[in-house]
Amino acid sequence: MKVLVADDDRGSLLVAQAAVQQSGHDCIVASDGDMAWQLYQEHRPEVVVSDLMMPGLNGLDLCRAIRADESDLYTYVVLLTSHGARDDVLAGMEAGADDYVTKPLDPFTLHTRLLAAMRVTSLHAELASYRSALAAQARTDPLTGLHNRLKLAEDLQLMESSSERYGHGYALAIVDVDNFKSYNDIYGHPAGDAALQAVARVLAEQSRDSDGVYRYGGEEFLFLLPGQPLDGARSIVERTRAAVQELGIVHAGGTCGVLTLSVGISATWADRGVDGRQLLKEADAALYAAKTAGRNMVAVAAVAEQS
């Protein structure tokens, strides 16, 4: 573990540093509260051992600052107090401290506190890992591994905020697998699932790292393309459409004999000021136009082209 020790008394600081290092942990030292806060932000130690009274931030203020700044990972805080100072101990616990050690510092006592701190911080790290995994799972489509509609809603909101604040444009494309119901009817749902997975892989491969790719529902997918004008978006999805056709997934019920895509695109930019909900409607209308015109093609929303 990384352990930050903060104490303005040099003798006590050296004793604590030696005890931490003998316990097998990395030790960072600070001679006042302000330095401790700066080092905490820089190193994010698992444990902070702080004197209660010292220049700059005192131990209580440092503890409150740490608790206010924490995210998923937990910092175990041990306060150093005067022997028998019950009011100080109570104030420290109310400020968010986990434990206390009385002065003069006993290395063995500090060692036992570090053992407890290691168990607690390890448990918090494990819980944070589980929470992160659950959050990712909640935003991932289980069949294709792409983002799902929950993640789309979050990303679209962020994109709208960026567009409103900085004038950044973006494009949105709805992608539909042509005649997919008949594909399932002819080849069965397991084959249909495999086809959707193959299409999803192509979409992910054709996208940039900054692009968002989502399973929108059933056989529909969606591209969220930040910083892309209509021409750039059209180029990306046209390349994707061609790549799926080149997979050569046989489809006797399709117009080309293989699985194909139809795509509808819309976009917004600084002078247009259209929100995500409107872009979805426009892209959906363009997709309908592509299907009506014969499928296996890319169509751009007329209102976007005219803007």
Q: Report the distance separating Cα 202 and Cα 291, nearest Å.
A: 21
Element (H, E) at 278: helix 276-292
Reduce the DSSP state of residue 248 to 3 states and report it. coil
Q: Report the distance separating Cα 201 and Cα 291, nearest Å.
A: 23
* Long-range interactions of 159-166: CB distance < 8 A, separation 24+: 159/224, 159/226, 159/276, 160/275, 160/276, 162/226, 163/268, 164/273
Q: Report the distance separating Cα 79 and Cα 101, nearest Å.
A: 6
Q: 220, 301, 203, 226: which is closest to 262 by C-alpha?
A: 220
DSSP state of 97: -
- Residue 219 is among the residues annotated as catalytic for this protein: yes
Find out whether 275 and 238 touch, Cβ atoms under 8 Å: no
Relative to beta strand 2-6, strand 47-51 is: parallel
Find out whether 258 and 245 touch, Cβ atoms under 8 Å: yes
Find out whether 80 and 72 touch, Cβ atoms under 8 Å: no
End-to-end CA distance of the chain: 58
Q: Report the distance separating Cα 178 and Cα 184, nearest Å.
A: 12
**Residues in contact with 72: Cβ distance below 8 Å, sequence separation at least 6, in sequence order:** 128, 131, 132
Catalytic residue of the set 70, 219, 238, 305: 219
Enumerate the active-site residues.
219
